[in-house]
Structure 1
Amino acid sequence: MRTFRKRAPRTLALTGAAAAAALLLAACGDDEPMNGMDHGGTSASSSASAPSSAAPSASGSFNDADVMFAQMMIPHHQQALEMAKLADGRAEDADIKKIVAAVEQAQDPEIQKMKAWLKGWGKPESAGAGHSMAGMMSEQDMKDLAAVQGKDFDRKFAELMIAHHEGAVEMAKEEQKNGRNAEAKTLAGEVVRAQEAEIAELRKILDRL
């Protein structure tokens, strides 16, 4: 009995050590094939990262209407951001400032998304000469906006941004009607929803200015 009591812990200890060693070898064995196999390791990591990388590239089929929507909406959004920047130090009305913040928050990420789509589609960012965009401000419009302050700026900004947004909504509705890519059509729907709401708000602001 004494011998059994003394040897049992040793036997258990050895058994535990062997099990731990076996687990360690198994772990090492699992790692080596993963590291040595390009398809195993690479595809697993690629699969994990696929949703985030695929989302901005507008996966799925597309047509000329999708391409034109992105190519024209990018500079359209860029001009809206230029108009919003002019509000810094010029805008006075709190609600105008809220619209400015909303434009900046929404449109820059949308620009980056559309640029990624065009890159993924193998298309240039610019539609080239000869394509007119509804609601775009002239160079003189931008100069006139930059030349005013306070309530005069607020009023001018509201007037110009209403026209600008109406142009964007028109282009977005064309994409909803004629586009094929699901992600591009979804973005077009978001543009319609957000900018129609801002148009309504800007008209209310104009009524009280």
Structure 2
Amino acid sequence: MNQPRLLRLWRQMPKRRTAAITVVAVSLVAITAVVRSAESDHTTRIVIGSSTTDDESTATGQQAGDPPVILPGRPGESSEVRPGSDVVIDPPQYNAVDTWYVQMMIPHHTQAVQMAALAAERTDHVGVRAFADRIRASQAAEITVLKSWLAARDLPAGDHDHDTMPGMQTEQAIRELAAARGAGFDSRFVAMMTAHHEGAIEMSERVLTGGSDLAIEELATSIAAEQTVEISRMQELLVS
């Protein structure tokens, strides 16, 4: 190999290395975009034939330099690489089970808060009083979240038969709890709140298997886990 040819090869090597690095970089960006898209529970749509100008792209936040996105093909078909500006992410979806859960859980939590409020003037047990305060604080905050979820979707509070909800206590049972004092209140409160918690767990399990909204899934998981722990704590209160 003569010297001029070696010189030409040497001069071409940086260009080839730069091209290779560029290909790898673009591939990594594309793969990252696919992974992030797969980790979300959003629906991806492709806008075909868009005639968006540069000014319109700037206004919508879709720049010409958006990273490409790899879209998996159907079985037996190859994947397709499209500009990131062609991909639109739809908002999260919810279904009737999610709506049912939120509409039912609001009155369900409301009754728990009302029962817990009775403890302040009716129990002599420091542990029962502290536990009731915890329920009032945590479930009142969850009611706010649930109401906000409905409001954000222009959904009504609902008109369900509250007496058929799992764990809901009758008006007569609430009156008897309000009339109790001391140890009698403590035992009645623990029994009623345990049944109430078990109902909330049952409802949460139902939406976890039939719902589709990620925010409700996270909330239901938290409610089921927290109230399972609280049932055990209530049983310990009676023997302490």
Fold match (TM-score > 0.5): yes
Residue of structure 2 aligned with 1:138, choices 161, 167, 170: 170
Q: Could you tell me how far apart the structure 2 residues matched to 1:192 and 1:186 are?
A: 10
Shift of 1:127: 3.7
Q: Could you tell me how far apart the structure 2 residues matched to 1:127 and 1:66 are?
A: 15
SS in 2 for 1:92: coil
Q: Could you tell me how far apart the structure 2 residues matched to 1:181 and 1:111 are?
A: 17
Normalized per residue, the structure richer in strand is 2
Shift of 1:128: 3.1
Question: Which AA in structure 2 matches 1:93?
Answer: H
Shift of 1:129: 4.0
Q: Could you tell me how far apart the structure 2 residues matched to 1:63 and 1:143 are?
A: 37
Number of aligned residues: 152
SS in 2 for 1:88: helix
Higher relative CO (Cα under 8 Å, sequence separation at least 6) belongs to 1
Quick check: 1:82 aligned with 2:106? no
Q: Could you tell me how far apart the structure 2 residues matched to 1:130 and 1:204 are?
A: 30
What TM-score do the two structures reach when normalised by structure 2? 0.60
**Segment drifting more, 180-189 vs 113-122:** 113-122
In the alignment, structure 1 segments of 5+ residues that lack a partner are 1-39, 44-58
Q: CA RMSD in A?
A: 1.9
Cα pair distance change 1:78/1:60, threshold 3 Å: same
Quick check: 1:177 aligned with 2:209? yes
Q: Could you tell me how far apart the structure 2 residues matched to 1:96 and 1:200 are?
A: 13
Normalized per residue, the structure richer in helix is 1
- Aligned sequence identity (%): 34
Question: Which AA in structure 1 matches 2:208?
Answer: Q
Residue by residue over 1:26-60, the C-alpha shift from the partner in whole angstroms, topping out at 9 and shown as x without a partner, is xxxxxxxxxxxxxx9xx9xxxxxxxxxxxxxxx62
Cα pair distance change 1:164/1:147, threshold 3 Å: same
Residue 147 of structure 1: aligned partner: 179
In the alignment, structure 2 segments of 5+ residues that lack a partner are 1-57, 62-90
Q: Could you tell me how far apart the structure 2 residues matched to 1:76 and 1:128 are?
A: 11
Question: Which AA in structure 2 matches 1:69?
Answer: Y
Shift of 1:130: 7.8
Residue 165 of structure 1: aligned partner: 197
Q: Could you tell me how far apart the structure 1 residues matched to 2:189 and 2:165 are?
A: 19
